[in-house]
Structure 1
Amino acid sequence: MRKLACVIGGGVIGGGWVARFALMGWEVRVFDPDPRAAERIGAVVKGAERALPMLFESPMPKPGGVSYHATLAEAVQGASYIQESVPEDLDLKVKVFQEVQCHCSCDAVIASSTSGFRPSQLREGLERPGQLVVAHPFNPVYLLPLVELVQGANADPYFTDKAEEILTGIGMYPLRIRSEIDAHIADRLLEAVWREALWLVKDGLATTQEIDDSIRYGFGLRWAQMGLFETYRIAGGEAGMAHFLEKFGPALKWPWSRLTEVPDLDADLVKTIADQSDAQSGNRGIRDLERLRDDNLVAILRALKGQGAAAGKLLKEQDDRLRRPLGDGVPLVTVRRKVPVDWTDSNGHMNEGRYGQVFSDASEALMAHVGADQAYIAAGNSYFTAETNIRYRAETLAGEDIVVETRVALGAGKKLRLLHEMKGANGDLRATCDQFLLHVSLQTRRSCPPLPDVRQRIEALASLHDRAR
């Protein structure tokens, strides 16, 4: 089924939305009157094309096309999801929504990226107010999964539910905000930390780098996988949160913070912060910093994915949604993916252990294909690798696309031999693996014949692949 989204506004957030939808297989229409919009969005999409697929073991869907339109009316035609990302100007946003409703489908979701306005404010003067929801994302939209989904009072739940389904389908985590409030949830928390940080710089108590270091080397790492309350729950020990609040609650009344005051961002403070920030970043430009940020986020998110925790659990679920049957090709394409940044060694290319993982993933995919899947293993049967012979033909770098083609060279009784070829996007051979496996009973831990259904499928593949040689 054709999936069509429209993005209005092509700044950093709008470009991120374009990239997220397009890389998850949606066609995207863009409206932005700025003549440089396509150039800006293209740069964001290029970064996303490198980073987002690194999060997944499953192949990505075929990317959707991105088109740019001269009028808003043309851009919204036929779209089932419309994401507004224009500047934070209430009058401008309302005007945009009024024009959108003149031309869009009555069934389309209209969502705003606003970081501060409430849905009730944005619905002023709309013919169909219930059609609009707030879907506030975080930069970079193509990597960070959180989107604050705000329905507000007098809304139509149909559109909120539809938005949640669509956003989940592109790998995001729609967090429903129970009541509409200014700045939702996350930005309120960020604003509190930001305000305190500005005072620390203004009062000469810390530099921008010292503040950033205190976050990235300390509580930021805890927050990334456990949030705020669960972090403090652990700090309370066996007695839990009640003990923590009893012990540290009185400190909230101590004069540590200046959260109730806002520093005057005069020329001197702006210059101080800007100079320190420039010095902190050194000679790295914005694109360099974006790439560093993306690589770091990919590594952190993949680490969480390995533990099935926090945002990593979400990635595992999206991997399952992206996974497709192998089909009946000869040879079978058992792996199709992008090499992630955490697979490289000091030379910058994929290390030897990861080649073994790629070929292991290939054999796992073939096992599932013939029925030797998790249910088969749970019933007490499996294939164990007895021997592998890997030959390295060419280096493979982070961000490169790879495929593995697998042939069944032997499938007789308890013996299975697989021949894998790992290739680059252009079909160039990167590595080969000759893998010999034995079928094993997990009760006796000894080799034995596979169950009849699996044996029959293995033998059929071996015969088919032998004829195709």
Structure 2
Amino acid sequence: MPRVAAIIGSGAIGAGWAARFVLNGWNVRVFDPDPATPERVHAVLARARRALPGLGDVALPAEGELAFCGLISETVTGAEWVQESVPERLELKQTLYRKLQEHAGEETILASSSSGFTPSDLQATSNNPGQILVCHPLNPVYLLPLVEVVHSDKNHPDRIDRARETLAEIGMVPLRVRGEITAHVADRLQEALWREALWLVRDEVATTQEVDDAIRMGAGLRWAQMGPFDCARIAAGPEGMAEFLRRVGPALNWSRSKLTEVPELDAGLIGRIVEQSEDQSGHLSPEDLEDRRDRNLVTLLRGLASQGWGAGVALRRQDEARAERRAMPRRMADLDDPARPVLTVDRAVPLDWLDVRGRMIEARCLEAFGHATDRMLEIVGSAPGDGAAEAGFLTEESHIRHLDTAPAGAPLRIDSRLIVGDGTRMHLWHEMTSDGRTLATAEQVLLHVEFATRTACEAEPAVAEAMRRLARAQAALPAPEGAGRALGAPREVTRH
């Protein structure tokens, strides 16, 4: 039975929470008296559908159901998780929590997206303060994994642990904040940078474009995969952190920072920022900027996942958990029926697999088929990419047919067959589909070779036997349409 999350408030943060929960299989109820709520939430969900499902290499669970409620009572009754994302007004939040606790179960987690208030602030007028936590995300909630979990001494450790486990299950990285402090950790760091940026524009040291370039062309790229302390370790070099900090420490007392001063946002400074910001990106609508932001984030996050670093570690962990839940085959023993094609890829189309026309990039198709081949090698017992091996499989020939395309976020699966497996040669057939449509096929021939001499040789006995068994089991399948087709052979073309 699907788990239920209640979302109270549907601005950018609340709608982002709704999208993340829905796309991770939860049923979601949304309460917000604003008549524009359904349109706003559906717009964010549509954007999230294009970006989040293809972020990892394993398909998300089936989508949960989304409902809009007119009463708080019907929104939160029976919900396992309630996420409050209303405006930052303390009295409003305290009143709301008293109302929520009239209808929420005792074990329900009541989490606030507040960026400024502490749990003690929110708990002050509650009869059950231990039920209320702060779980503060960053925007866009459906893509950025960080969520700050802030608690007071009134929150039982079991509730804190359960909150962190739930957040991890929906693909987030819960950062347990060690003490109550306004603006928590992430916003304090962001606000310090924001104050400096305002001073640089105010004093006409740099324009808004130049400030943004200083971050996105420099430190921002470092910070996407290493924080300031890891960067400092590199800067310290052989001398070590202790000596490095002793050496650079005095410079921190020089009056070259205005971290605690905020420039007056008078009409002149506001006008300058508006004019420069218009020159910088006024040709793009907010929707265009959000689209480009999501594409860039997906590219960065997937790149980090390929390296197993930074936020990419969380993506890999999610993929492994999903693959285990979906029982993706990894050995011959995992195959329910070896006589049927093998599911080797089960995921969604990532944003960065599409060109400017929305068609799948050829190289990405080859990449996906490469993953399918790796899975077939894994199933017969040959570990792809084993650097210590003296022999293994190398691709001798590939032939891909590009037949159709699918939008970002669409389901994508590859079913694979072993046409020939004689202990030395693997003749594979892969078929990529989405919602029943065939997008592409790939035919590949691999040879088992000694790497030093590049000469063909028999695979080790267990692998050779597994190849023969799988090939025999699938021999009765009808020949796949297009197998053995010569490059350039004509086929019927549908004109639109």
Same fold (TM over 0.5): yes
1:90-113 CA-to-partner distances (Å, cap 9, x unmatched) read 111111111111111111111110
1:25-46 CA-to-partner distances (Å, cap 9, x unmatched) read 1111111111111110111111
* Letter paired with 1:337: R
Structure 1 pair 274/303, CA: closer, same or farther in 2 (3 Å)? Answer: same
- Gap regions ≥5 residues in structure 2: 329-334, 479-496
Contact 1:349 1:398 in 2 (8 A): no
Q: Structure 1 residue aligned with 2:413, among 368, 379, 403?
A: 403
Where 1:30 maps in the other structure, the secondary structure is strand
Residue 463 of structure 1 and its aligned partner are, at CA, apart by 4.2
Q: Structure 2 residue aligned with 1:359, among 360, 363, 369?
A: 369
- Gap regions ≥5 residues in structure 1: none
* Letter paired with 1:340: P
- CA distance in structure 1 between the aligned counterparts of 2:129 and 2:219, rounded to whole angstroms: 41
Structure 1 pair 56/271, CA: closer, same or farther in 2 (3 Å)? Answer: same
Pair 1:385-2:395 in alignment: yes
Contact 1:414 1:450 in 2 (8 A): no
Residue 299 of structure 1 and its aligned partner are, at CA, apart by 0.9
Q: In the alignment, which residue of structure 2 is the partner of 1:54?
A: 54
Q: In the alignment, which residue of structure 1 is the partner of 2:446?
A: 437
Contact 1:441 1:448 in 2 (8 A): no
- CA distance in structure 2 between the aligned counterparts of 1:32 and 1:380, rounded to whole angstroms: 63
1:308-347 CA-to-partner distances (Å, cap 9, x unmatched) read 1110111111111121224647333322333334445687
* Letter paired with 2:431: E
Residue 248 of structure 1 and its aligned partner are, at CA, apart by 2.5
TM-score (norm 2): 0.87
Q: In the alignment, which residue of structure 1 is the partner of 2:474?
A: 465
- Greater Cα offset, 273-282 or 348-357: 348-357
Contact 2:458 2:464 in 1 (8 A): no
Q: Structure 1 residue aligned with 2:327, among 286, 302, 325?
A: 325
1:423-451 CA-to-partner distances (Å, cap 9, x unmatched) read 3x343333221122345688998632454
Q: In the alignment, which residue of structure 1 is the partner of 2:331?
A: none
1:10-65 CA-to-partner distances (Å, cap 9, x unmatched) read 10000111111111111111111111111101111111110112321111211111
Where 1:130 maps in the other structure, the secondary structure is helix
- CA distance in structure 1 between the aligned counterparts of 2:141 and 2:250, rounded to whole angstroms: 39
Q: In the alignment, which residue of structure 2 is the partner of 1:43?
A: 43
Contact 2:420 2:426 in 1 (8 A): yes
- Greater Cα offset, 139-148 or 380-389: 380-389
Where does 1:31-180 land on structure 2 (aligned, <5 Å)? 31-180=31-180
Where 1:362 maps in the other structure, the secondary structure is helix
- Indicate the percent of aligned positions where both proteins have the same amino acid: 47
Structure 1 pair 67/371, CA: closer, same or farther in 2 (3 Å)? Answer: farther
Where 1:421 maps in the other structure, the secondary structure is strand
Number of corresponding residues: 467
- Greater Cα offset, 236-245 or 173-182: 236-245
Where does 1:231-250 land on structure 2 (aligned, <5 Å)? 231-250=231-250
Structure 1 pair 377/4, CA: closer, same or farther in 2 (3 Å)? Answer: farther
- Greater Cα offset, 249-258 or 30-39: 249-258
TM-score (norm 1): 0.91
Contact 1:381 1:450 in 2 (8 A): no
- Greater Cα offset, 244-253 or 113-122: 244-253
Structure 1 pair 212/375, CA: closer, same or farther in 2 (3 Å)? Answer: closer
Residue 211 of structure 1 and its aligned partner are, at CA, apart by 0.9
Q: In the alignment, which residue of structure 2 is the partner of 1:421?
A: 431
Structure 1 pair 345/10, CA: closer, same or farther in 2 (3 Å)? Answer: closer
Where 1:467 maps in the other structure, the secondary structure is coil
Structure 1 pair 112/378, CA: closer, same or farther in 2 (3 Å)? Answer: farther
Q: In the alignment, which residue of structure 1 is the partner of 2:183?
A: 183
- Greater Cα offset, 286-295 or 263-272: 263-272
Residue 76 of structure 1 and its aligned partner are, at CA, apart by 0.9
Contact 2:305 2:316 in 1 (8 A): yes
Q: In the alignment, which residue of structure 2 is the partner of 1:310?
A: 310
- CA distance in structure 2 between the aligned counterparts of 1:442 and 1:95, rounded to whole angstroms: 70
Q: In the alignment, which residue of structure 2 is the partner of 1:276?
A: 276
Residue 278 of structure 1 and its aligned partner are, at CA, apart by 2.2
- CA distance in structure 1 between the aligned counterparts of 2:336 and 2:377, rounded to whole angstroms: 14
Q: In the alignment, which residue of structure 1 is the partner of 2:482?
A: none
* Letter paired with 2:446: L
Q: In the alignment, which residue of structure 1 is the partner of 2:457?
A: 447
